[in-house]
Structure 1
Amino acid sequence: MLALLIERPTYVYELSQRFDDRFGELLPVATGTVYKAVDGLLKRGLVERMAVEGEEDRRQPKPHYRATADGARTLRQSLADDMRGDPFQAEMLQRLMSVSVQDARAMLDLVDRYERVCLEQLGMLPPVPVAVGETRTSFAALRGELVAEERRLTLEAQMKWVAYARRRIGAVNGGTGEM
């Protein structure tokens, strides 16, 4: 809900419709649940009511909401944290970038967080496996080695993507990719 409000401020019923259009097949949610979610976000200071011209003259006003700056930061942090151990990190990153990143600084912040998650996961992997050609005493040990090496190689590829993303953001932003 927060990501959709970052994308475009709106009133709750429209937010519910947008959520259903985008995610309804995977995660159906009743409109009442959306009202509760927005209320919770409001209480946490992640969204705020916004004034809409002419709204106060309506018999039944539709309060509109938008994300606060803290809401946008919290969403980016939460989604980056959720990527830890998630085999679908790339998909999560793509979804995050598609709804909540509005400028180069925010995009670089996301890339930095993504890099930290990758480095943290690299640090948790066991030492580099033995050289090819050496024999193992059990298939269980070999299985563990192969799983760890697949993860290591994946993380190294993700780190290459981080460098690429910084270069591309810098090129589009007219700078070096640093803010």
Structure 2
Amino acid sequence: MLYTIHSTFDDIEGRLVADLGCGCGVLSIGAAMLDAGLCIGFDIDDDALDIFRRNVEEFEISNVDMVQCDLCSLEPDAYGEKFDTVIMNPPFGTKHNQGMDMKFLKAALTMAKTAVYSLHKTSTREHIQKKANDWGVKMEVIAELRYDLPASYKFHKKKSVDIQVDFLRFSKA
């Protein structure tokens, strides 16, 4: 994902990058290693950000920072067009967090000057394309992927489920 963003679109090196829902910082640290000017990860989960901090220290990376916040409660223009590029692997918005992926996408589009890169369930592509059109942004399917999602909640009935995921690029039209 990051290699494609870097090598095909030149949207990481020297850029100010935001990673929404950064978790332990995998995408943020990867962007930093690809010479982002600065990558700032945003997440609500303090435990995940503690792991992120430890990972940054272990890799001795200085061009990364993090912000603990609830993206859904940020003022819409708090970070309006402050970032060159936004990367994210948002919650897919199923069951208990329905629509969360679209809230993340809307926030990302507000924050980005140039492009947003995101992963979404392939089954939602038509809906996302309609929203992109409504919002006046161009959506491009970069790749169709398969992802083995392990069970993480008690209500999950299977050990894992194979889901089809789109790697999408959104740009200002």
The normalised TM-score by structure 1 is 0.31
Q: Which has the higher helix share?
A: 1
The normalised TM-score by structure 2 is 0.32
